[in-house]
Amino acid sequence: MLSRLFAPKVQVSAHCDLPCGVYDPAQARIEAESVKAIQEKYQANEDQHFRTRATTIKEERAELAKHHISVLWSDYFKPPHFEKYPELHQLVNDTLKALSAAKGSTDPATGQKALDYIAQIDKVFWETKRG
């Protein structure tokens, strides 16, 4: 009797945790663009104080990009997405690994590789938004 009393009167469902519009791979892309730009500036500057500060900021930006990708993976993408895009788990893993590599490197090529993976996630993301 109590279970019927407290049972929801209306059932709703959504493909993500919040109304659409709150998730976007652009957040990760912007952070990853910062990582690559910092790597390029690091390479062009010999000042040790500048390089130390650049390294710190680059690592923070890479960590933020990893966070945004992880949130997409855990909060936005749902089983139907993984069924339609079976490569998605591996793509997210590869992206996170590439961001970790960029975090630990001053080579802009590592930043570009992370951006390339994020672009692939972005493509899948927008395909899922279209239905």
pLDDT digits (tens, 9 = 90+) for 3-42: 665 666 655 445 545 555 579 999 999 999 999 999 999 9
Q: How far apart are CA 51 and CA 12, in angstroms?
A: 52
Query: 47-76: per-residue pLDDT in tens?
Result: 999 999 999 999 999 999 999 999 999 999
Alpha helices in 1-131 (DSSP H): 2-6, 26-43, 48-71, 79-84, 88-103, 108-130
pLDDT at 130 over 90: no
pLDDT at 80 over 70: yes
Return the DSSP state at 75. Answer: I
**Phi and psi angles of residue 39, each rounded to the nearest 5 degrees, phi first:** -60, -40
pLDDT value for 12: 47
pTM: 0.85
CATH number corresponding to 24-130: 1.20.120.400
